[in-house]
Amino acid sequence: MCCRNGRRWKIDPIRPTLPYPGIQEDWLYTNGQCVIRPFSRVTFDLLGHQPQPPHTEDWEINPTIKQFDRVLNFQERRALLQHMISPSVESLFEAEIHHDFGFYIRESEGTCSLGTIQTRSVSFVRYSPNDDESYNYRVTFFDAIGQEYNLAVTDLTFRYYVDHLREVEGLSCGRIGINLQNIFDNRPTFLRIGLTRPTWEAHPHCCALQITGIYTYTDYLDGRCFADFQQQPPEEEILF
Say which CATH number the domain at 175 has: 2.40.50
- Residues 99, 165 within the same domain: yes
pLDDT band, very low/low/confident/very high, at 232 (cuts 50, 70, 90) = low
Q: Look at residue 4 and give its three-state secondary structure.
A: strand
Say how many domains are in the chain.
Answer: 2
Specify if 238 maps to a domain: no
Residue at a domain's end among 74, 97, 117: 74
Specify if 18 maps to a domain: yes
Residue at a domain's end among 74, 90, 105: 74
Residue at a domain's end among 74, 109, 124: 74
User: Can you give the residue range of the structural domain that contains 63?
Assistant: 2-74
Which segment of 10-14, 16-20, 45-49, 165-169 scores lowest on mean pLDDT? 10-14
Sheet with 121-129: strands ordered across: 121-129, 135-142, 148-152
- Residues 154, 219 within the same domain: yes
A 10 A CB-CB count for 151 gives 21
> Any residues with CB less than 8 A from the CB of 239 and at least 6 apart, and which?
none
- Residues 135, 65 within the same domain: no
The helix (run of H) or strand (run of E) holding residue 94 is none
Distances (CA, A) of 129 to 3, 50, 157, 172: 39, 37, 18, 11
Rounded-to-5 percentages of helix, strand, coil across the chain: 20, 40, 45
pLDDT tens figures, 192-210 = 999 999 988 889 999 999 9
- Residues 204, 100 within the same domain: yes
pLDDT tens figures, 28-86 = 999 999 999 999 999 999 999 999 999 999 999 999 999 999 999 999 999 999 999 99
Which segment of 133-137, 166-170, 198-202, 211-215 scores lowest on mean pLDDT? 198-202
Is residue 28 within 8 Å of 34, Cβ to Cβ?
A: yes
